[in-house]
Amino acid sequence: MKKLVSLLLAMIMMFALVACQKDTGPSASDGPFPGKIAIITNTVSQNEEEFRSAEQLQKKYGADKIVHETWPDNFSTEQEQMVTIVSKLAADPQIKALIINQAVPGTNNAVDKLLETRKDMFIVYVNPQDNPADVATRANLILMPNDLAMGPVMVEQAAAQGAKVFVHYSFPRHMGQVMLSGRRDLIKAECAKLGIEFVDATAPDPTSDVGMAGAQQFILEDVPKMIAQYGKDTAFFSTNCGMQIPLIKATVEQGGIYPQPCCPSPFHGFPAALGLEATDVSNVQGTIDAINAKMTEYNMGGRTSTWPVPAAMMSTVASTEYAIQWINGKVAKEGIDDAALATCMKEYAKGFADVDMDISNYEENGVTFANYKLFLMGYLTFEGK
Tally the domains of the chain. 2
In a domain, 10, yes or no: no
pLDDT at 78: 86
| Residue 31 confidence (pLDDT) | 77
Print the domain residue range for 250: 147-307
What CATH number does residue 130 fall under? 3.40.50.11400
| 173, 181 contact by CB (below 8 A) | no
Number of helices followed by number of strands (H, E) in the chain = 14, 12
Residues 347, 232 share a domain: no
Based on the fold, state whether residues 255 and 157 are members of the same structural domain: yes
Same domain, 208 and 286: yes
The enclosing domain of 208 has a CATH number of: 3.40.50.11390
Candidates 213, 218, 254; CA nearest to 233 is 254
- Residue 384: inside a domain: no
Tell me the C-alpha to C-alpha distance, in Å, between residue 260 and each of 55, 244, 248: 25, 9, 9
| Residues of the chain where predicted confidence (pLDDT) is lower than 70 | 1-30, 278-279, 281-282, 351-354, 385
Query: What is the C-alpha to C-alpha distance for residues 236 and 167, in angstroms, rounded to an integer?
Result: 5
The helix or strand, by DSSP H or E, that contains position 48, with its residue range, turns out to be helix 48-61
Same domain, 267 and 158: yes
Note whether residue 21 is domain-resident. no
Same domain? 219 vs 201: yes
Kindly report, residue by residue over 163-202, the tens digit of the pLDDT: 999 999 999 999 998 889 999 999 999 999 999 999 999 9
- pLDDT value at residue 19: 39
For residue 8, the model assigns a pLDDT of 42
- Number of Cβ within a 10 Å radius of residue 207: 22
**Do β-strands 197-202 and 141-145 pair in parallel, antiparallel, or remain unpaired?**
unpaired
Beta bridge partners of residue 201, listed in sequence order: 169
